[in-house]
Amino acid sequence: MLETGTKAPDFELPDQNGTMHKLSDYAGKKVILYFYPKDSTPGCTKQACGFSERYPQFLEKGAVVLGVSKDTVASHKKFEEKYGLAFTLLADPERKVIEAYDVWKEKKNYGKVSMGVVRTTYLIDEKGIIIKANDKVKAADDPEKMLGEV
């Protein structure tokens, strides 16, 4: 996980519509950049729907929400449409950004060890500095917790 107080690595990734986004496009706004393992899984769906429900409140506070996983643009589009998600999902199938933000880790699940995305949320300030970093994310609680942090 990247440390608070460090400059967030810039990136360029496509969203669920294939439009390219750079972190630097959001200069002057707070960015909630959250990494999640997989579209349409129970925890990831709870987290995404929570961010979507609160999205107008994030916007009022001058913040945007960007969700990142290694799913494809097409997978993100299905996820967005199925749950009516109101924010941007970024596709990182090559894991460039996932690895730049140090969230690709060894995970243990029922004793089985594998590599995967550790659910992590970063809050990046208007100047591109990480001001909060959390890798002990509870999917259902994360959106409300982050709304309080912005």
44 is catalytic: yes
Distance between CA atoms of 12 and 135, rounded to whole angstroms?
A: 23
List all residues 6 or more positions away from 106 whose beta carbon is below 8 Å from its beta carbon: 113, 114, 115
Distance between CA atoms of 65 and 126, rounded to whole angstroms?
A: 13
Catalytic residue chosen out of the listed positions 8, 33, 44, 91: 44
CA count, 13 A, side-chain hemisphere, 5: 1
Query: For residue 51, which of 72, 38, 36 has the smallest C-alpha distance?
Result: 36
CA count, 13 A, side-chain hemisphere, 49: 11
What are the residue numbers of the active site?
44
